[in-house]
Chain A
Amino acid sequence: MKAFPASEIIVSAIFILCLATTGLGALIAALSVRIIRSVCGLAICCIGLAGLYYFLHSPFLALMEILIYVGAVCVTIVFAIMLAEPDEQPQPDRHGANILWGGIALTVSVALLWGLWRLSCEADFTSPPNLMTDGSIRAIGISLLTTYSLAFELISLVLFVAILGALAIARTGRTKP
């Protein structure tokens, strides 16, 4: 059946590597004290996510994830960090409040994780009987230019307005002393 029997193991190992990269990057992004390490964690997480997208039969989105998140979003956040120096100092004087908020955050997130995990493991979703398209880049392009052309144009409008708004907001403070 298989030309090379170890290929299954290798592919599974690469998949586990992608999963571990995603999880580790997310943990670094959420837990590190220095904010620049947090951005690096976000970039690592997005690289792992791109690998997961590749396993989900979508190399186009893997490319877009790296291009948009690692290439644009993380670099923009690094620029903002350079301009605003937002390092979090540890606050030893309010230890009780720290533990309280940490406990609340941990409880909420663990409850979310447990509930969604159970839901995803136990729910019985039905698979579709047959596929309408093959999900290739050609099918995406045809859908973007026919069914979703209005949404596509609206997204471009939203991005344009966002750029204008960002320029206007960031500019107003400069004239002040």
Chain B
Amino acid sequence: MNETPLYDRPEIYFAAAAFLLAVGIFGLIRRRTLIGMLISGELIFSAATLNVMAFNRFRAPDPAVGQIFVLFIMGLAAAEVGIALSIIIAVYRNYRSVKTKELSELNG
């Protein structure tokens, strides 16, 4: 039995981040609506932040840097969600649908 407790082993966090990334990619390919794809994108963002935090905790000389980095990622994710949802609303007004299959024409 390893002496290090479970929550102090970086492999656990890396594996959890890899799992989140895999689930996010699966959802991104599998989903057929824009909002579902957006949610899967958020899962991928979460995987990235968890990975950065794990490296920050176990392998970085300055633990404040990773936290600031993750804070910036969260800010960018919030901005991205705002823009993407407004685009989705605009698309829904024009097409009456947010299914990716039906959004097949561009008009300037």
Near B by CB (< 8 A), chain A positions 110-136 give 110, 112-113, 116-117, 119-121, 125-128, 130-135
Secondary structure of the B side of the interface?
helix
The reply to whether the CB of A8 lies closer than 8 angstroms to some CB of chain B is: yes
Residues of A within 8 Å of B33, CB to CB, are: 35, 86-88
Query: Chain B, interface size: which category?
Result: 35 or more
Residues of B within 8 Å of A119, CB to CB, are: 14
Residues of A within 8 Å of B70, CB to CB, are: 61
- Interface pairs (14), CB distance under 8 Å: A12-B5, A12-B6, A30-B26, A31-B27, A45-B20, A49-B46, A52-B13, A52-B50, A112-B18, A113-B18, A117-B14, A128-B60, A135-B56, A159-B79
Other A-B contacts than A61-B70, A84-B92, A116-B14, 17 sampled, CB-CB below 8 A, are A22-B16, A26-B24, A29-B23, A35-B36, A39-B39, A56-B13, A61-B67, A80-B85, A105-B25, A109-B25, A113-B22, A120-B18, A131-B61, A135-B67, A140-B67, A166-B86, A173-B94
User: Interface residues, chain B, CB within 8 Å of chain A?
Assistant: 5-7, 10-27, 29-36, 38-40, 42-43, 46, 49-50, 53-65, 67-68, 70-72, 74-83, 85-90, 92-94, 98-99
